[in-house]
Structures are given as structure tokens and as C-alpha cells.
Structure 1
């Protein structure tokens, strides 16, 4: 891995298990990402992602969204906590909250999310069951830059999995998660290497504009 660019600092936001967080932690420890996670923040006290952070000696912060009267107030507090660390990159790793436009614009071009569908299909929740119900033959996940439009930012990378007959949503979700744990660290590594950026609401890798479906292998 090239060390030509300075090491990037990363704050990760989680709500649950944090399996993608762990995948990124592992890749950093293996020297595959030129970055360092400087904080993990969760909106749920029992989020296992907080335990993963503590086990890796990463500051773990719980900010209860139920303690705030409005989404704007919560996001303002979240923003204050993030800015205390002055990160280069914000990674949403299963952070189950809709963020205000003010919050998103504050981190313009510096925030990534992973969504369990082949965007622009199936924005929002219950993506696996919706894909099955629609009779789709394939499903997957997308890593994208975050913009004020829900799950609508420019896609960086997608990974596809076939939908088998008689497969239920839980089985499909697990197969998609396996892909997520490979693709999210890769995209984070691109950003930390200075290869990935967002310009004019487009994702760019190595100064080339990516397609609407993101980077394509081959």
C-alpha cells in the first residue's frame, strides 16, 4: 500500500452489530487501508459495534437519539461530537437514521454509506423482501457518497448476488452482507489513498467519473 498520502482519520457511525465496522478494522490492521478509525459513535446503547470499538481500543461514544426532541437537535449534537475529532471521512456502517440536510451538507464529499440494494432500486428499508417480491433475478449492495436525497448519492461500487428460487429474505440478506464486508473496506481504502472523491455530484476514481452504477470490473 502506498504511503504517498497522509493517513486519513475516520469516524464510523453504527446502530447495530457493526460487522462492516469490523471488516474495516481488520483491513486497517492488515495495512490495507491508509487510515485510522479515531471514534465509533452509536445511537443505540446496546449496539455491538460499540463493543467492537472498545475491543480495538477505539473511542466508543453513545448518543441516544431518544434524548432529543427533534432530529435537528440530535444531528447538531452528533455533528459536534464528530467535529471534535476532525475526521477526514465519515463512514455510515448500519447507522439507521435519516440525516438532516444540514448534517449531510456539512460533510459534503466526506461521507460514505452502504445500502443493501442495487441502487437506484429499493431505497429505504426491507430491500431484500422487496427484491424477492418483485421477482428480481439478482440483488446486492451499493456503496455511495451521502447526499441529502435518501440513498440517492453517487454510487461508487456495487456487488451483485443471484436470487435463488425458494430463498427467503433472511438468507438473501446474509449473502448480501458477505459481499458488503468485502466491498466497503475496498471503497474506504480508495478514499484513504486519495483516489476517490466526489465532484459535481459525481463519484470520481483516479480522476475519472464513475458510471451511475459505480466502478465496473473489467
Structure 2
């Protein structure tokens, strides 16, 4: 049985949904795995959202470790971010090192992991773009897609390495952002770009800009099933992570990430796993 660790900042409903859906699929037997522990980078009382995340963990009967990143040596974080990152994640490692797991999933974890930690532990991260696509936060990704007038985007899970968002992709799915209901929104967006430019759009509308919002909506719909099917692939040995290298079910190095688009689109259409 695959043993999982789970890292989150617990900052919103999506973070809770990701954890709960994976826990449910495990309980149903769809995934042969167990969540050995959850690590939360906030502590009780730090925010309403993370308190709801903690409550969910308690309801699910999950072991949880907490360490506030915000409150950990703030002076060091301000003066030397790299040194702070190493010190914080060394403290995290000391908390969880006695909990051996096969895989750690970063799902809504809002801090860059130190180089030392991602070399010590087998970690994969959710990133809201296609392999080789834009880097950064989901907001930065979408603004880049809009600037580039991209035809498609996607969501991927990638191996966590010292290079931010540049670890090899493990799995991904893709979806179009041109055609259908997207086209009139593109027309409106391009007109606004001509009239006021990107920075004014960000300032006046931000994440509520209709095209931006639709791309985000379509991406979020696919994040949950991508995580579920990725963990399932690990549990069933379709993919293995050994000494920070990825292998396929024949024991060969994984040269290309698994395209899970077909499985995910089928799930979205039928609601079945």
C-alpha cells in the first residue's frame, strides 16, 4: 500500500477539497494508499481557512503536524530568504523524518521547498500549466497565457527539485482555451487590451476578468481528478519514484510524462472514477 505525506497551507476551500477527495477515493478502495500524515504550514488560530483545514483533518482522523511559516524567524525571512527557507524546512524535516512515506504530495502548499528537503524526500507538486508552460503562481500562469494568446493550457504534477517549477513532469492533462464560450471572451479581452492595456485590466478587474475567470474555472475542475489519477498511477506502479528518478511499469526511465487527459475528461463527463 502506498504511504502518502500531504503538504498544504490550507488557505482556501480548494485545499480542503483536494485532501477530502483523495481521502474519499482511498476509503472507497479506488486508490490503494493511506495518508500517513498531513503537514500544514500554519498553526491553530492563524487564519479562519487554515483552521477549517485543521478541523477537516481531525474529522478525517488524520495525523497532522503544524509549523507556522509566517511566524518562523520573520527577521531571517526578511533579510535572507534562502537561509530562512533552509532553516524552516529543516525544522519541518525534524518533525516528520520518523514518518517514512513513499510519496509526498504538495497540494496548495504556498512556500518554496528548500533544496535540501526536496533532495531528502520524494515530493511531487501540482502546477497549473502544461509541461514546458508558464511558471509561477496560478495567477501569474493565467496572465501569461492571456498575454501569449495561448490556444490551450493544462495542469500537471511534477517532481519537486531545487529548481522552482522545473522538476520533470510526472502526469498532465490539457484543455483548449479557444473555441466555444472562450471566443467571445477573447474578443472582449483583446478590445480591452487595445483600449487600456494589461496592467489596467489587472488593476480594475483582476481575477474577476471574465476570460481569466473561465480559464481558472476549467483548470480547477481538472486539478482534483489529476491528483487522484496521479496517486492511483503511483499506487498501481504505473509510475515509480526511486532515488528521485521516475520509472514506468516496465522499470524503464520515464522519458515522457503520462498524459491523463482522456481519463480526466471521461470523469468530468460521467462523474465516475
Give the TM-score range, shorter chain.
0.7 to 0.9
Aligned partners of 1:144 and 1:101: how far apart in 2?
15
Deviation, 1:64, is 0.3
1:26 pairs with 2:24:
yes
1:62 pairs with 2:70:
no
Q: Tell me which stretches of 4 or more aligned residues in structure 1 moved more than 4 Å.
A: 199-202
Give the 3 Å change call, closer, same or farther, for CA 86–121 of structure 1 in structure 2. Answer: same
Answer whether contact 2:86 2:115 (CA < 8 A) is retained: no
Deviation, 1:143, is 0.8
2:230 — aligned with what? 187
Structure 2 length as normaliser, TM-score?
0.70
Matches within 5 A, 1:157-176: 157-163=171-177, 164-165=182-183, 166=185, 167-176=210-219
Deviations 1:73-130 (A, max 9, x none): 21011111221322221110010111111111001xx211110011221111221222
Aligned partners of 1:190 and 1:44: how far apart in 2?
30
Give the 3 Å change call, closer, same or farther, for CA 208–178 of structure 1 in structure 2. Answer: farther
Coordinate RMSD, CA, aligned: 2.1
Aligned partners of 1:136 and 1:148: how far apart in 2?
28
In structure 2, runs of 5+ residues without a counterpart are 74-83, 186-209, 263-273
The total of aligned residue pairs comes to 209
Give the 3 Å change call, closer, same or farther, for CA 177–199 of structure 1 in structure 2. Answer: same
Q: Relative to total residues, which structure has the larger strand share, 1 or 2?
A: 1
Task: From 148, 151, 166, give the equivalent of 1:134.
Answer: 148
Deviation, 1:194, is 3.2
Higher relative CO (Cα under 8 Å, sequence separation at least 6) belongs to 1
Deviation, 1:202, is 5.2
1:154 — aligned with what? 168
Deviation, 1:208, is 4.0
1:52 pairs with 2:56:
yes
1:143 — aligned with what? 157
Task: Identify the range of structure 1 (200-209 vs 160-169) with the bigger mean alpha-carbon deviation.
Answer: 200-209
Task: From 36, 55, 65, give the equivalent of 2:34.
Answer: 36
Give the 3 Å change call, closer, same or farther, for CA 51–161 of structure 1 in structure 2. Answer: farther
Deviation, 1:57, is 0.8
Q: Relative to total residues, which structure has the larger helix share, 1 or 2?
A: 2
Aligned partners of 1:8 and 1:187: how far apart in 2?
12
Answer whether contact 1:14 1:49 (CA < 8 A) is retained: no
In structure 1, runs of 5+ residues without a counterpart are 1-6
- 1:66 alignment partner, SS class: coil
1:203 — aligned with what? 246
Task: Identify the range of structure 1 (144-153 vs 37-46) with the bigger mean alpha-carbon deviation.
Answer: 37-46
Answer whether contact 1:197 1:204 (CA < 8 A) is retained: yes
